[in-house]
Amino acid sequence: MKHIVFVESNPGNGIEAISIAKELGYSVTFVTANLEHYMKGRRLDDHPLRYADRIKECPTNEPDELLQYLKQFKMQYPFDEMLSFSEFYAPIVAEVAKKLGLPACNPKAVKTARLKHITRQVCSENGIPVPRWRSGNSLEEAYFLAEQIGYPCVFKPVDNTGSRNVRIVYNKSELEEMYEKNRLNLDNNRGLKRSSDFLIEEYLEGQLVSVETFSMNGDHHVLGITDRKLTGYPYFVEVGASFPVEIKNFKEITNYVRHLLETIGYDFEPCHTELILTNRGPYLVEINPRLAGGIVPQLIYKATGIDPIRETIKMFVGEKPDLTPKWKKGASVYHFTAPKTGNICALKGVELIEGCQFVEKFQWKVKIGDQVRYPTSNDDWIGDLVVVADDATAANRIVDQLLNQIVVEVNDQIGDDSL
């Protein structure tokens, strides 16, 4: 029986991956520096982590410490592969896996993808179009760089995820606010410190999309393109996605991504690359050395029959992933957010969603009386709606029709948007 070590996880796909690995007949060990981060007071027999054969607490935030632990662990429990569905830990896991002689992506490529200023530097040196950008570390640098790039510009941490602390800024006051907000949030809640470096970047208008790929043996296989809907202006909160979207310049977009992955040396694992489609062509937003997050892997499965999580696991244990579509449909997700900061006082129109034959999933993550805030990142989703139809356009249309009937009512604002 093959044995997989999972190192840390994101809240959704990584936990689901453990149960899928068990379905495939593999032995599973879950390694974390802090089990309570996942349990949050729940009993193990009432938590998805119960499917793991072993759960080990050990240092995971430093490559050398993780390597030493796993060397000893491997002597007692030989394992065939290690991976992480948490983007924060992707560079650490790639480095340790290579040192253990296990299949993994080029660690330098993973680090390049994770650190947005390094990504842009490599792109700039190789003629790959990216927004005008500069990186800095101090408030004085932020002021200076914003003047160079020109207002409005985008403030963006170099290594955060989920649209956290990303915002368009129009003046020095807003820039200082974002700088301080980022400076005071340099921890991923697991003791892994983020960089204090940030980007000041040109603001580009255009359609936001992501290209979902699997890289293996020199090939970058494109599963398709996902479109994205945003809310929370002046923040960039992703509230909608549809897969697969048909775009007239599909070849130009996918060639851009393939060239990008080749340039940074990305040679193994799935990848989720976000782009802005401008009237000048595609421009990079970010490369994520992992599967698309949230519900997008489920959209891909509903639309094509390809299960990206399952095929990722198979790929890591040396099996050839099956990336051939089984059917052709379209799927769309919408993540509800609050219209303002306050307390939920009404959720109207739910019966219309529950009665729609195209709805595959619907859930509220809040109840009447719960405190919510105006969205500033993907952490502020308060509900999910998934629709499957003949194609992505039809699925999107049904989502829009349902949204016209849904009302989220919030009472007067309490406190500020930093809740």
286-343 residue pLDDT tens: 999 999 988 999 999 999 999 999 999 999 999 999 999 999 999 999 999 999 999 9
Strand order across the beta sheet in which 133-136 lies: 133-136, 198-202, 153-157, 167-169
Task: Check pLDDT > 60 for residue 417.
Answer: no
How confident is the model at residue 384, as a pLDDT?
A: 95
For 270-286, how does the pLDDT look when each residue is reduced to its tens digit (9 = 90+)?
999 999 999 999 999 99
Average pLDDT, the chain: 94
Give the residue-averaged pLDDT of 122-142.
97
How large a percentage of the chain has pLDDT more than 70? 98
For 208-261, how does the pLDDT look when each residue is reduced to its tens digit (9 = 90+)?
999 999 999 889 999 999 999 999 999 999 999 999 999 989 999 999 999 999
Task: Check pLDDT > 90 for residue 418.
Answer: no
Task: Check pLDDT > 90 for residue 266.
Answer: yes
Of residues 185 and 209, more confidence is placed in 209
Distance CA 109, CA 114 (A): 9
Residue with tokens 């930093």: 418
Residue 101's CB is within 10 A of a number of other CB atoms, namely: 7
What Å distances lie between residue 1 and 26, 92, 330, CA to CA?
Answer: 6, 26, 36
How confident is the model at residue 280, as a pLDDT?
A: 93
Give the residue-averaged pLDDT of 104-113.
97
Distance CA 64, CA 158 (A): 23
How confident is the model at residue 192, as a pLDDT?
A: 82
In this structure, what token pair is assigned to residue 277?
């489609």
For 42-92, how does the pLDDT look when each residue is reduced to its tens digit (9 = 90+)?
999 999 999 999 999 999 999 999 999 999 999 999 999 999 999 999 999
Distance CA 80, CA 163 (A): 34
Q: Can you give the length of the chain in residues?
A: 419
How confident is the model at residue 413, as a pLDDT?
A: 60
How confident is the model at residue 330, as a pLDDT?
A: 98
CB proximity list for 310: less than 8 A, separation 6 or greater: 20, 24
Distance CA 403, CA 417 (A): 24
Q: Is 231 helix (H, G, I), strand (E, B) or coil?
A: strand
Measured in degrees and rounded to the nearest 5, phi and psi for residue 302 equal -60, -35
Among candidate residues 67, 7, 63, 1, the one with its CA nearest the CA of residue 34: 7
Q: Quote the DSSP letter at residue 313.
A: H
162, 379 in Cβ contact below 8 A? yes
Residue with tokens 């793991």: 52
Band of the pLDDT at 17, cuts 50, 70, 90? Answer: very high
